[in-house]
A = this chain, B = another copy of it.
């Protein structure tokens, strides 16, 4: 291959695609356009920069443009692709400095624009730029600056991963934090109530004033003072952080005529191909197939972005065709010592996908019960009643609890039933759990309820 690959968006998916394409196709010309000031950074690490745990933003940058340049990947920062012309196979790029537009032809286009924090129009006043969000390193710098600027009361709107992680950071920085979420519990879209309620306890135990079932209708500002209000509540604060999820950045694709899927993200097949020849997509802006349901979903996680980027790179370079084997939506976070993790389908998602779910819910400890520092842990498995097949898992607990989700993910990945999982030869020693790992007991419980 001696064509040109143009990458639109220089974070996980885009740069993974570029790197992998470079490995497999030494002659391919690769140019990556990034409208921001950094490429290849860890957005997931941003809350920990705000918390002061990660000392500099530079630490979150995995690779700099100069490193890519050494590998023959031309990275252009502050260069925004404003238009994609699919007929002429060109992109129009404006650099921040002059605003001049340059045109670049492409043979392959990797669309990897990511996502942006949601600012729902249903909330009056939400467009106030003084309300902070978190996506780019620049966002992180702005939030950190505000947090450093003085302590006070903070209102976190939204109880998702970012909301929880930023709330943790703010508490760590001695802010008084109120979290406001419309759902019955935090992480409402990804956890069932049994684990979601335990997650709420963890959030409260860390010192966050958590308000559930609180639908925000407006954010008012009077100088430096905010007021976040709904029908029957109002919270005042010196800082408002918005963490209501993210939306795929698809405007450019839509304007160009690259088809979107039912989720609103760019439609791709399992090879990361859009329906336009030579145009590929991956990461937050694109759909992926769910391994269990086979349906197209839009799961915006760094793991998925890296994987789909790599797959795109392989296929762009002609190293394939290699299909992406799908996602389970495995995710993990923590607040204080409490770890929260999930994979697969919740009972609600399972029902929506046509299953009749049963669950196995067990409580235990992260280590042998007699081990000092044994922390409570809850494991819940979701299985299909008819077949016993595992559909999902959720965990909350102390140190060591969360990454147990990976065993459940591996089990679901392989189509195991709950009763099969119950006998897998997992590791045991008293500092690491019980002789029957809680995952095995949950599996047995789910198996009892299934079939």
Contacts and interface: CB of A to CB of B under 8 A. Distances in A.
- In the complex, the count of this chain's copies comes to 2
Contact of A429 (B12, B59, B334): B334
Interface string A337-366: 001010100000000000000000000000
B414 A42 contact: no
Contacts of A233: none
A423 interface: yes
Given A368-B42, A425-B327, A426-B406, A334 B431 contact: yes
A105 interface: no
Given A372-B53, A435-B42, A403 B430 contact: no
Interface stretch (A134-142, A241-249, A298-306): A298-306
Interface in A33-52: 42, 44-45, 48
A343 B410 contact: no
A89 B283 CA distance: 68
A304 B427 CA distance: 10
Contacts of A413: 424-425
B406 A427 contact: yes
A416 interface: yes
A437 interface: yes
Nearest to A439: B406
Interface string A365-376: 000101110000
A48 B374 CA distance: 14
Interface string A307-334: 1000000000000000011111111111
Contacts of A327: 425
Given A402-B432, A414-B416, A45 B370 contact: yes
A42 B367 CA distance: 13
A204 interface: no
A44 to B, nearest CB: 6
Nearest to A302: B435
Contacts of A301: 428
B371 A428 contact: no
Interface string A413-448: 110100011011111111111011101000000000
A404 interface: yes
Nearest to A373: B53
A69 interface: no
A295 to B, nearest CB: 15
Contact of A410 (B54, B370, B414): B414
A329 B59 CA distance: 40
Contacts of A432: 332, 334, 339, 402-403
In this complex, the interface size class of chain A, counting residues with CB under 8 Å from chain B, is 35 or more
A235 interface: no
B48 A430 contact: yes
A218 interface: no
A123 to B, nearest CB: 27
A407 B343 CA distance: 14
Interface string A213-230: 000000000000000000
Contacts of A420: 325
Give the interface centre of A327, A370, A429, A439 by most chain B CB atoms within 10 Å: A429
Nearest to A290: B425
A428 B324 CA distance: 18
Interface string A55-67: 0000110000000
A405 interface: yes
Nearest to A54: B370
A308 to B, nearest CB: 11
Given A45-B430, A372-B53, A409 B435 contact: no
A424 B403 contact: no
A371 B53 contact: yes
9 contacts: A42-B368, A42-B430, A44-B368, A54-B370, A303-B435, A304-B425, A324-B423, A330-B425, A406-B424
Give me the 6 closest cross-chain CB pairs, A-B, nearest first: A332-B427, A414-B414, A410-B410, A59-B370, A328-B425, A330-B425
Given A402-B427, A406-B424, 10 more contacts: A12-B435, A45-B430, A48-B371, A59-B370, A325-B420, A327-B425, A332-B427, A343-B425, A399-B399, A413-B425
